[in-house]
Amino acid sequence: MEKILSDFLEMVRADAISRDERKVADILLAKLRELGITEVYEDDAGAKVGGNTGNIFARLPGTLPGAIMISSHMDRMPQGFGIEPVIENGVVSTKGDTILAADDLGGISAILDGVRRLKESGKPHCTVEMLFTICEEVGLLGSLNFDYKDIKSEIAYALDSPGHIGRIILAAPHSAKIQCEVFGQAAHAGSEPEKGKSAAVGAAKILATLREGRLDHESTSNFPIVNAGGTATNAVCDYAIIKGEARSLDKQKLLDYIAYFEDHCKKTGEEFGVQIKTEWSLGSPGFKVPADSPSVKLMCDVFADMGVDANPEAGGGGMDANRFNYNGLQSVGLATGYFANHTTNEHVFLDSFLRTGEMVEKTVLRYSENLESYKV
């Protein structure tokens, strides 16, 4: 079994979740030591977000000028406990009752394999900076709480995108959390329902007429959490809450949708006769990296060297690259061969995944040998 695959299988079997990445972090730290990486530290981001693990930063010093950063995150979505990987017909999946956590342990495995290849090759290279973050799945909190002051790189790559190797995510959306509280009137449901006003029905009317899902080619919204405060069938429900999110590659479109949501909830509530309270907060900032930028050009050249078709395009999900760009690091996302992440159908195509370590190695070497061609 190839080392990159055995690393991956070992880490996915280690139970973890956002704010509890300790088991994965300990395995990762041991593997970095095995690779002879001595510049390693764990920061205090975990304490800041109520977790038991910090971001792990590692640096492989180079003999050539320049530095490049490669990143992946250690946490995973829920339903990621007791993962039992299944390998069949060139695909790694699960038994269907858990996620696979290739998002984003596939990225960590690729980075480890790329560094292993670099060291075994003995070729001169620039400094390689590695950042393994926590709490990416709950608002990019690890990269939000990382101190970037000692970063030497100008370019960073987040190995954290679905798709076959060759996919380059050069844009990701701005996001916002949105909610609507609905206040009705309690009453006995059998004796005097006329005196009540159901908050649950009010919430249903709001959702039934709300524009949601795919809003346009740059924007989406989703409202999966609907809770009503009723505790008995003989009482008219007097409270309900709707929680969701919206995203857009265009920040103004995001703000326009929030304004529409507030107006829609208010008008629907007035028509039905319930009180409404809406709240929202912006999440991670979006980014758009031009297709002719150094970070994208570098990856297109690397994929050409590998005989892989490059596919630069915008993505619909956030990633740590959002934070990196905000902090002055030109960053794009790279696919590592996984699909259907965030679901129990998550799976990895080995023909893509097994080449991701090669991708990391060639990215570092090409950047090292042609530094002036990829200056930001």
User: Locate tokens 């949105």: which residue?
Assistant: 178
Q: Is 271 one of the annotated active-site residues of the chain?
A: no
Separation of alpha carbons 104 and 71, rounded Å: 10
Separation of alpha carbons 247 and 254, rounded Å: 6
Q: Token pair of 359, please?
A: 């991708």
User: Locate tokens 């039934």: which residue?
Assistant: 208
Q: Which of 273, 299, 281, 334 is nearest to 103 (CA)?
A: 334
- Helix (H) and strand (E) counts for the chain? 11, 18
User: Locate tokens 């999900």: which residue?
Assistant: 317
Beta carbons within 10 angstroms of residue 10's beta carbon? 14
What are the φ/ψ torsions at residue 301 (nearest 5 degrees)?
-70, -40
Own/partner contacts of 221-230, CB < 8 Å, gap of 24 or more, are: 221/178, 221/245, 221/246, 221/247, 221/257, 221/261, 222/246, 223/178, 228/199, 228/200, 228/203, 229/199, 230/200
What are the φ/ψ torsions at residue 108 (nearest 5 degrees)?
-60, -45
Q: Is 75 one of the annotated active-site residues of the chain?
A: yes
Query: Of 7, 75, 103, 358, which one is the catalytic site residue?
Result: 75
Query: Of 104, 113, 136, 238, which one is the catalytic site residue?
Result: 136
Strands 311-314 and 167-172: parallel
Separation of alpha carbons 242 and 202, rounded Å: 11
Question: How long is the chain?
Answer: 376
Separation of alpha carbons 15 and 43, rounded Å: 21
Separation of alpha carbons 205 and 182, rounded Å: 11
**Helices (H), ranges, the chain:** 3-12, 22-34, 45-49, 102-121, 141-144, 199-208, 251-272, 294-306, 320-326, 350-353, 356-369
Task: Please list the active-site residues.
Answer: 75, 136
